[in-house]
């Protein structure tokens, strides 16, 4: 599903070069729930940004479902993100002017879905994440956990091959975090949804099939855990 | 393509619907005022031209003027020439005039101006002066001791006329002494006063041709013959027609007779209008650019998020362009309403120019031109800041 080969990412800050990734190779199979862990600055978010086509590596190769995504034009990468990937940000990244329902169906609108189709699908997903009664609320009227659920619903609405989540529980209390992770686990188990999630919380490990630990831009450890 | 436009329209609609109402209203108002400025000045210029043409035709020159051939002071055989010209289909009247520069005397005051000798019935068939009598009556063909004066020349007791010839208070029934250029003097009873609001006419006076011919010793002669046509705007065609009838005298359209004054005035007005239009459009560009620039900078993170979730940057740019189109369309509509208000007011209370009252003449082409130019510059001014932000790297945009 995902084949990442020898990824490096070097940022230039003035005259100083900072190596965020030093040659990371990673395969993710369909239906896996992979946790990328590590201390702050270990390169986990950088890796996720590259896998989510939000950033380009300095060198290396990324194949997703056999497509060399780094060779795609910006326009094709945008389409790839729209049709194949779902991305959940740490700080929800909702569009403040839109309601929960509108945030979710926005990408279906781009895909040319009919109104009945996208309304039904978006409402169904919002119900599935427990927001059936909050659809017409805007971001400012939702709690952090609810906002993150909207973001997850938005990431799922187009049936993505891969769901990428960048510390989705970082701004949530432990109870809400657990409900989000339970939701991810259900998606993974019930729908065989491939998930790659960045986290730095030790207790999240219990949810992952595989844990990839980064340190200083390199893979320090790779452990199979919940589901081999 | 259509799906993309649908999303652009969706984003633009939500932004307009849920964004700052105050900023939106202010921007629309500025665009409306720019629109008024774009339409107003051309409408006044057009109004000046219409006024000048109307005043010239109705009170001063008719549509065409027949002048003595070169080297002659007067046209000879006026009666025959009138008959010849009046045969032409579409010519509705001719009026011979004798012109003399005279000095008027009244109660120790004097004023130098033009005195015209006219045949009243002929004059009625060409000009409308007879319909603009403010006191007394118009001349009759048989009058020999009567004169009619323009209200500026007649003047008001104790008031100067701002450098224009004025006898300061002549009324109907008063006697005015006229000194002709040949040294003859006559005393005339003022039969009437007229006011056309055309200063060149209102500073003049009229006696009958019969009287003036007798004073100047003329026989079937005139300084000019004014010609009235059934329709305005076809003066060149009638001029050719008259010349084709073998008329040897010079034939001029009223525009030619005015010596290019209108053309020069129009050229000057057009320069002023071009500067005003340019300034207005620059203001429109700056306003729209600033509004969209601030809008996009404030939504930089949102633009990054939209790109991250798979929305093409062109869709994002188009959403801003659609917002600009909406603002410009509503601004233009408000501008049209404001302009209608200004036009209605200035039609009721016209601007007073030396050539007469000027009513705004709003041409459909001027409105269309203004709308097109406003849309053109607004879209360009909205596109550029949206394009600059939308092409930014996704992560930089999201991090703000």
Residues B137 and B238 in one domain: yes
Identify the domain containing residue B315 by its residue range.
2-56+262-399
Is the Cβ pair A78, B312 closer than 8 Å? Answer: yes
Q: What is the mean pLDDT of residues B277-287?
A: 88
Residue showing tokens 């084949």: A3
Q: Which residues contact B131 (CB under 8 A, 6 or more apart)?
A: none
B362: left (phi over 0), alpha (psi -120 to 50) or beta: beta
Q: Are A198 and A169 in contact (CB under 8 A)?
A: no
- Whether ipTM > 0.90 holds is yes
Mutate to test the interface with B, among A45, A77, A106 (most CBs of B within 10 A): A106
Is the Cβ pair B312, A107 closer than 8 Å? Answer: no
Residues B93 and B207 in one domain: yes
**CA pseudo-torsion sign A41, A42, A46, A48:** negative
Q: How many angstroms separate the CA of residue B394 from the nearest CA in chain A?
A: 6
Determine the Cα–Cα distance for residues B5 and B314; give it in Å rounded to an integer: 9
Q: How many angstroms separate the CA of residue B324 from the nearest CA in chain A?
A: 18
Q: Which residues of B touch A52 (CB under 8 A)?
A: 308
Determine the Cα–Cα distance for residues B44 and B134; give it in Å rounded to an integer: 28
Determine the Cα–Cα distance for residues B320 and A195; give it in Å rounded to an integer: 35
Give the residue from B257, B291, B308 where a domain finishes. B257
For residue B164, give the 3-state DSSP assignment.
coil
Q: Does A90 touch chain B (CB under 8 A)?
A: no
Q: Is the pLDDT of residue A227 over 60?
A: no
Q: Give the burial class of B22: count Cβ atoms within 10 A of its Cβ; 0-12 exposed, 13-18 middle, 19 or more buried.
A: exposed
Q: Give the burial class of A41: count Cβ atoms within 10 A of its Cβ; 0-12 exposed, 13-18 middle, 19 or more buried.
A: middle
Question: CB under 8 Å, gap of 24 or more: what pairs does B161-165 form?
Answer: B161/B203, B164/B199, B164/B203, B165/B104, B165/B111, B165/B112, B165/B113, B165/B203
Is the Cβ pair B308, A87 closer than 8 Å? Answer: yes
Residues B143 and B222 in one domain: yes
Q: Does A111 touch chain B (CB under 8 A)?
A: yes
Give the residue from B227, B257, B287 where a domain finishes. B257
Model confidence at A226, pLDDT cuts 50, 70, 90, reads low
- % of chain B at pLDDT higher than 70: 100
For residue B91, give the 3-state DSSP assignment.
strand
Q: What is the mean pLDDT of residues A171-196?
A: 90
Nearest to A97 among B15, B312, B395 (CB): B15
Is the Cβ pair B310, A107 closer than 8 Å? Answer: yes
Residues B302 and B359 in one domain: yes
Give, in order, the Cα–Cα distances in Å from B162 to each of B106, B153, B305.
Answer: 18, 12, 71
Q: What is the mean pLDDT of residues B232-236?
A: 93
Q: Which residues of A touch B387 (CB under 8 A)?
A: none
Q: Is the pLDDT of residue A228 over 60?
A: no
Q: Which residues of A touch B308 (CB under 8 A)?
A: 52, 54, 81, 87, 89, 93
Q: How far does CA B372 lie from the centroid of its chain?
A: 23
Element (H, E) at B33: helix B21-55
- Reading the block at residue B22, the tokens are 């105050």
Residue showing tokens 């917002």: B323
Q: Which residues of B touch A95 (CB under 8 A)?
A: 302, 305-306
Higher pLDDT, B368 or B352: B368
pTM: 0.77
Q: How many angstroms separate the CA of residue B265 from the nearest CA in chain A?
A: 54
Nearest to A95 among B4, B302, B310 (CB): B302
Mutate to test the interface with A, among B309, B313, B387 (most CBs of A within 10 A): B309
Supply the pLDDT for residue B287. Answer: 87
Q: How many angstroms separate the CA of residue A47 from the nearest CA in chain B?
A: 13
pLDDT tens per residue, range A9-30: 999 888 899 999 999 999 999 9
- Reading the block at residue B309, the tokens are 């979730």
Q: What is the mean pLDDT of residues B108-122?
A: 95
Residues B249 and B334 in one domain: no
Q: How many angstroms separate the CA of residue A109 from the nearest CA in chain B?
A: 6
Model confidence at A65, pLDDT cuts 50, 70, 90, reads very high
> Nearest residue of B to residue A46 by CA position?
B395
Q: What is the mean pLDDT of residues A81-101?
A: 93
Interface of A with B in 149-168 (CB under 8 A): 154-155
The mean pLDDT of chain B is 92
Residues B230 and B376 in one domain: no
* Angle between helices B21-55 and B261-298 in degrees, nearest 10: 170
- Count of alpha carbons within 13 Å of A11, Cβ hemisphere only? 10
Determine the Cα–Cα distance for residues B114 and B123; give it in Å rounded to an integer: 17
Q: What is the mean pLDDT of residues B282-292?
A: 88
Q: Which residues of B touch A12 (CB under 8 A)?
A: none
pLDDT tens per residue, range B134-184: 999 999 999 999 999 999 999 998 877 678 899 999 999 999 999 999 999
Q: Which fold has domain A2-93+162-224?
A: Rossmann fold (3.40.50)
The ranges assigned to domains in chain A are: 2-93+162-224
pLDDT tens per residue, range B80-104: 999 999 999 999 999 999 999 999 9
Q: Is the pLDDT of residue B193 over 70?
A: yes
| Dihedral pair phi/psi, residue B232, rounded to 5° | -85, 155
Determine the Cα–Cα distance for residues B46 and A94; give it in Å rounded to an integer: 54
Element (H, E) at A188: helix A174-191
The mean pLDDT of chain A is 92
Q: How far does CA B268 lie from the centroid of its chain?
A: 13
- Count of alpha carbons within 13 Å of A201, Cβ hemisphere only? 18
* Angle between helices B261-298 and B313-348 in degrees, nearest 10: 140
Is the Cβ pair B6, A55 closer than 8 Å? Answer: no
Q: Determine the number of helices (DSSP H) and then strands (DSSP E) in chain B.
A: 14, 14
For residue A39, give the 3-state DSSP assignment.
coil
Model confidence at A49, pLDDT cuts 50, 70, 90, reads very high
pLDDT tens per residue, range A117-143: 999 999 999 998 889 999 999 999 999
**CA pseudo-torsion sign B82, B86, B90, B92:** positive
Determine the Cα–Cα distance for residues A158 and B339; give it in Å rounded to an integer: 50
Is the Cβ pair A97, B306 closer than 8 Å? Answer: no
**CA pseudo-torsion sign B179, B183, B189, B190:** negative
- % of chain A at pLDDT higher than 90: 81
Q: How many angstroms separate the CA of residue A225 from the nearest CA in chain B?
A: 31
Q: Which residues contact B304 (CB under 8 A, 6 or more apart)?
A: B392, B394, B395, B396, B397, B398, B399
Minimal CA–CA distance to B138: which of B124, B159, B155, B152? Answer: B124
Q: Does A1 touch chain B (CB under 8 A)?
A: no
Q: How many angstroms separate the CA of residue A95 from the nearest CA in chain B?
A: 6
Q: Is the pLDDT of residue B262 over 80?
A: no
Considering its fold, how many domains does chain B have in total?
Answer: 2
Q: Which residues contact B260 (CB under 8 A, 6 or more apart)?
A: none
Q: What is the mean pLDDT of residues A87-108?
A: 94
Element (H, E) at B298: helix B261-298
> Nearest residue of B to residue A55 by CA position?
B395
Q: Are B181 and B113 in contact (CB under 8 A)?
A: no
Q: Does A9 touch chain B (CB under 8 A)?
A: no
Nearest to A78 among B15, B18, B307 (CB): B307
Mutate to test the interface with B, among A110, A115, A154 (most CBs of B within 10 A): A110
Q: Which residues of B touch A80 (CB under 8 A)?
A: 310
pLDDT tens per residue, range B172-187: 999 999 999 999 999 9
Supply the pLDDT for residue B178. Answer: 97
Is the Cβ pair A75, B315 closer than 8 Å? Answer: no
């Amino acid at each position: 599903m995902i084949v990442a080969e020898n990824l490096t990412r070097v940022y230039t800050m003035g005259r100083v070069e900072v190596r965020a990734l030093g040659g990371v190779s990673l395969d993710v199979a369909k239906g896996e729930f992979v946790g990328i862990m590590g201390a702050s600055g270990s390169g986990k978010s950088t890796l996720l940004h590259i896998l989510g086509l939000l950033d380009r590596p300095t060198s290396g190769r990324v194949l997703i479902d056999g497509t060399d995504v780094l060779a795609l034009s910006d326009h094709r990468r945008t389409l790839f993100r729209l049709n194949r990937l779902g991305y959940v940000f740490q700080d929800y990244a909702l569009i403040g002017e839109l309601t929960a329902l509108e945030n979710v169906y926005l990408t279906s609108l781009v895909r040319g879905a009919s109104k009945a189709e996208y309304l039904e699908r978006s409402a169904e997903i919002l119900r599935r994440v427990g927001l059936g009664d909050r659809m017409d609320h805007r971001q400012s009227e939702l709690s952090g956990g609810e906002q993150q659920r909207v973001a997850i619903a938005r990431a799922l609405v187009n049936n993505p091959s891969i769901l990428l989540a960048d510390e989705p529980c970082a701004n949530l209390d432990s109870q809400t975090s657990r409900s989000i992770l339970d939701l991810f686990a259900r998606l993974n188990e019930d729908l065989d949804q491939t998930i790659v999630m960045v986290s730095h919380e030790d207790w999240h490990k219990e949810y992952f099939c595989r844990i990839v630990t980064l340190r200083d831009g390199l893979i320090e450890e790779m452990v199979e855990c919940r589901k081999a | 393509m259509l799906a993309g436009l649908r999303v652009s329209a969706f984003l633009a609609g939500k932004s307009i619907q849920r964004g700052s109402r105050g900023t939106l209203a202010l921007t629309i108002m500025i665009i409306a005022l720019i629109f008024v400025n774009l339409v107003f000045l051309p409408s006044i210029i057009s109004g000046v031209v219409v006024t000048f043409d109307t005043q010239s035709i109705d009170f001063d020159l008719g549509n065409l003027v027949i002048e003595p051939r070169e080297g002659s002071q007067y046209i000879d055989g006026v009666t025959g020439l009138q008959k010849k010209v009046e045969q032409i289909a579409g010519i509705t009247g001719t009026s011979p005039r004798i012109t003399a520069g005279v000095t008027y005397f009244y109660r120790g005051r004097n004023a130098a101006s033009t005195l015209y000798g006219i045949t009243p019935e002929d004059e009625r068939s060409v000009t409308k002066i007879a319909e603009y009598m403010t006191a007394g009556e118009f001349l009759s063909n048989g009058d020999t001791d009567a004169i009619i004066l323009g209200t500026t020349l007649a003047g008001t007791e104790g008031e100067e006329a701002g450098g224009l010839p004025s006898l300061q208070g002549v009324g109907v029934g008063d006697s005015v002494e006229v000194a002709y250029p040949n040294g003859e003097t006559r005393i005339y009873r003022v039969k009437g006063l007229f006011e056309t609001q055309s200063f060149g006419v209102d500073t003049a006076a009229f006696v009958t041709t019969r009287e003036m011919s007798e004073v100047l010793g003329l026989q079937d002669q005139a300084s000019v013959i004014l010609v009235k046509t059934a329709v305005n705007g076809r003066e060149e065609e009638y001029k050719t027609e008259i010349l084709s009838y073998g008329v040897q005298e010079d034939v001029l359209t009223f525009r030619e007779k005015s010596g290019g004054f209108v053309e020069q005035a129009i050229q000057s007005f057009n320069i002023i209008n071009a500067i005003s239009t340019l300034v207005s459009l620059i203001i429109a560009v700056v306003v729209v650019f600033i509004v969209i620039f601030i809008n996009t900078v404030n939504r930089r993170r949102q633009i990054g998020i939209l790109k991250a979730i798979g929305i093409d940057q062109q869709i994002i740019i188009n959403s801003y362009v659609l917002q600009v189109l909406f603002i410009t369309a509503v601004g233009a509509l408000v501008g049209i309403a404001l302009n209608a208000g200004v036009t209605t007011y200035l039609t009721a209370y016209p601007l007073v120019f030396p050539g007469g009252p000027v009513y705004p003449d709003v041409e459909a082409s001027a409105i269309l031109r203004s709308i097109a130019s406003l849309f053109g510059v607004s879209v360009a001014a909205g596109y550029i800041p949206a394009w600059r932000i939308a092409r930014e790297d996704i992560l930089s945009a999201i991090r703000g």
